[in-house]
Structure 1
Amino acid sequence: MRKGNAVAAKLKQQKNNVIAHEKAFGRHVLVVDDSRAQRRILVLALERGGYRVTEADSGVTALARCQEAAFDFVLSDWMMPEMDGLEFCRAFKAMPRDGYGYFILLTSKSEKGEIADGLDCGADDFLAKPVNSDELRARLRAGERILGMQFELMTKNRLIGSTLDELQKVYDSLDRDLIEARKLQQTLVRERHRDFGRGEVSALLRPSGHVGGDLVGFFEINPHRIGVYSVDVSGHGVASAMMTARLSGLLSGSSPDQNVALTEGAFGEQDAHPPEEVAARLNRMMFENIQVEQYFTLAYADINLRTGQVALVQAGHPHPALIRSSGAVEYIGAGGMPIGLIPGAVYERVEAQLLPGDRLFLVSDGVTECPSSEGEELGEEGLTRILLANRKMKNPALLEALVWDLATYFDGEDFPDDVSGALFLFKG
């Protein structure tokens, strides 16, 4: 912001310098006429008006003068030998210059066709010969207004250009920071796949922008139980990404003492709170400790690796999918209330039984609500088709196939929302 103000102040100072220079020395006028007497009359009238004047006796000489100095006005006779006024006007307008040059043709011609020829060549105005001094001053004042507006436009364009340059630098800096933030956010999912012996878990996380608001993961409760979760924070961008970083610490398997799901059992072994209590604890923390405007949805499952018994909570998240080894897909849960939306919200436990070869898929709404090129959402039916078409694949390959099929459905890989999910296979 300070740089933008500095640019504006600099341009304002430049404008003031130009105005001061014009007041001190006057506008610079080039008078072109092969008649010395006519030139003298014009020069005297212009000098009395405070203008600086340079003379040229032909169009060729005038072009040479224009190579040496930038003239604000040109008063040129139409009829001249070697190069007439129209040819000189074309050549003058074609010359590169910073500011605008106001061109007035001096002529005794009055036919409309001839006047049109002069305008087509780039002339800005006409003066009939012999030149009346009052009319000359009026024409020059009109030209002064045009030059003033042109200078204002150039000044504003420079300001816009300088501001855009500053904004581009800021954008480039933010872009670099967001790229690094994306790399850091990807590290929140410390493991993308782990084999627990009797079961294995694979994680998918594809932010829709530089950084996203989705989070997936898993952790060991004890040698016979694991926790698997999928989170979707409201909104997008940096604020959502910071919330996912906070939640990653609260559901971390590497820091059991900070994990809100873990507790100590009756005999000192590591245990876990029931899923519905985990959701309630997180909800209280959102209002009592974190205190932000955001909320998030959650699907969290406590899975017994020995029995295949699943206890889970669905807090506003899409329905978890049970992919049976027989080829059927079931969606479980009753929806539930998002976390951080209503104080004191109550969450219900959902139970399911996995058989060997069955899978549990906790998936974000970036998958189920992904639109087609016609705007139709994938939905649970579309997800079922993809899961069944790829069900013989191993977990990592199935998740990769899901992204490919989703990109085909969406007709592109720049998904409008984060795509994430946690896929558990029960081996038994």
Structure 2
Amino acid sequence: MQTDPVNKPAALTGVVRVVLIVDDSRLQLRIMTAMLSRMGFEVLSAESGAEALEICAKDKPDLVLSDWMMPGMDGLELCRKFRDMHRDSYGYFILLTSKSEKGDVAQGLDAGADDFLTKPVNSHELRARINAGARVLSMERQLSDKNRQVSEALTELQEIHEAIDKDLRQARTIQQSLVPERVCEVATSRVSLLLRPCGHVGGDLVGMFRPGYDRLGLYNIDVSGHGITSAMVTARVAGYLSSNFPDQNVALEKRFSRFYAMREPAETACLLNQRLVADPGVEEYLTMAYCAADLQTGRVRMVQAGHSPPMILRANGDVDFIGDGGLPIGLIEEVDYDQHEFQMHSGDMLLLYSDGFTEAVMNNGEMLGEDGLAVFFKEAARCGQGPDLVEDLYWRLTSQMEDPTKLSDDVSAALLEFDILKERVD
């Protein structure tokens, strides 16, 4: 095909390469074909609308020049059917007509035409109209390309998200395994544990260990922040307070190469602080309430390292809060911790809990607070015991939250019911 480089539309012939001419006049087809060929386009021709649709389905022309008035299927109907065809990219449609009334133009636009040319066609105007169409097609194809890139990126991100989500679900399973026992009877007492992270994984940890028949270590820990980093710190701390490997538990010391005795809670907090501060690159710290209980006498020694004050619900219904704050663990070097001691009596309940309870926002727009939790504790104690009691506490919390579907913080609790199983021993 011979082309005239001088008449090529500058830089746009790459966008409009194939042009279809539709006219029932063979003379007009030859004239238009000659014009477009000199401009450098590949030219297809059809003498009817039906023939044009067959060509469009097969060759997908970039631009269609169609006469308006044709026997059978006219230009308007052809335009409508052209628009109904499935295409990977947009096709530009120009109607050739002698009509110039506004109503006719509006009718053509409604049918899907992009532009109009008045017959007889002037070659300069034809070139200008095609250039205008080429600019539209260029922008459309750039947009389509960007949309394709965005779609591919979204697909890739979705695959990455699914992989991360799978890993986080596995991480949640692993973190849940750090609390293998959720309820345990120790001597004549019972311990129940609750752990509800606000995401896949969390920074709360509850646990217990039993170095002897009537000795119990019970703790509730809240690592700063949320998510994977906090969860990794909880995993490390769980190893420092292991119930399965007493030789690795910093709260225990071996005596006479025969048995393990419990360290003072304040000493345990100091040892934990030394280990966390010594870890290079670890900026997280934790709060902790840790109790060492003698379940034979009811004597409990406790350290409160920046944690929520433990709560005792006495058998007579009174509530006592234990502790006066203290510094978190892993925040600064060389810190001393105060130790508290209190007495439990038969039927008393000790609750260690994280601030996920007390700082939850209720329906009234205010945080639950310690007094609000004490009310929940009393109500739950009247309705159940053991694991049912801590689950009831969590239910009461979420059922009265401002948004029960969203926990803003991890929620955890450790419950000790003292000397409630005595009748079994008797």
Tell me the TM-score normalised to structure 1 length. Answer: 0.91
Matching residue of 1:260: 250
Instruction: Indicate conservation of the 8 Å contact 1:26/1:52, yes or no.
Output: no
Match of 1:424 among 406, 411, 416: 416
Residue 91 (structure 1) shift: 1.1
Match of 1:114 among 98, 101, 104: 104
Alignment of 1:195-214 (within 5 A): 195-214=185-204
AA aligned opposite 1:395:
G
AA aligned opposite 1:415:
L
Matching residue of 1:188: 178
Moved more, 291-300 or 404-413: 404-413
* Compared CA separation, residues 76 and 167, structure 1 to 2 (3 A): same
Instruction: Indicate conservation of the 8 Å contact 1:105/1:123, yes or no.
Output: yes
Match of 2:389 among 381, 398, 404: 398
AA aligned opposite 2:350:
L
Alignment of 1:64-75 (within 5 A): 64-75=54-65
Alignment of 1:161-310 (within 5 A): 161-265=151-255, 269-289=259-279, 291-310=281-300
* Compared CA separation, residues 91 and 413, structure 1 to 2 (3 A): closer
Matching residue of 2:150: 160
CA distance in 1, matches of 2:331, 2:311: 25
Residue 168 (structure 1) shift: 1.3
Instruction: Indicate conservation of the 8 Å contact 1:324/1:359, yes or no.
Output: yes
- Could you list the per-position Cα deviations for residues 317-357 of structure 1 after superposition, in whole angstroms to 9, with x for gaps in the alignment? 11111111111222121111111112223321122211111
Residue 291 (structure 1) shift: 4.4
CA distance in 1, matches of 2:18, 2:54: 16
| Structure 2 residue 358 is the aligned partner of structure 1 residue 368 | yes
- Could you list the per-position Cα deviations for residues 141-188 of structure 1 after superposition, in whole angstroms to 9, with x for gaps in the alignment? 111111111111111111111121111111111111111111111111
CA distance in 2, matches of 1:65, 1:139: 22
Moved more, 403-412 or 265-274: 265-274
Percentage of identical aligned residues: 51
Moved more, 221-230 or 163-172: 221-230
CA distance in 1, matches of 2:186, 2:16: 88
Secondary structure, aligned partner of 1:391: helix
AA aligned opposite 1:421:
A
Alignment of 1:304-383 (within 5 A): 304-383=294-373
Unaligned runs of 5+ in 1: 1-19
Match of 2:18 among 20, 24, 28: 28
Matching residue of 1:123: 113
- Could you list the per-position Cα deviations for residues 340-385 of structure 1 after superposition, in whole angstroms to 9, with x for gaps in the alignment? 1122233211222111110111001111112224542111122111
Matching residue of 1:149: 139
Tell me the TM-score normalised to structure 2 length. Answer: 0.91
CA distance in 2, matches of 1:356, 1:173: 51
AA aligned opposite 2:27:
A
Matching residue of 1:4: none
Match of 2:90 among 83, 91, 100: 100
Instruction: Indicate conservation of the 8 Å contact 1:26/1:50, yes or no.
Output: no
AA aligned opposite 2:270:
A
Matching residue of 1:79: 69
Matching residue of 2:398: 407
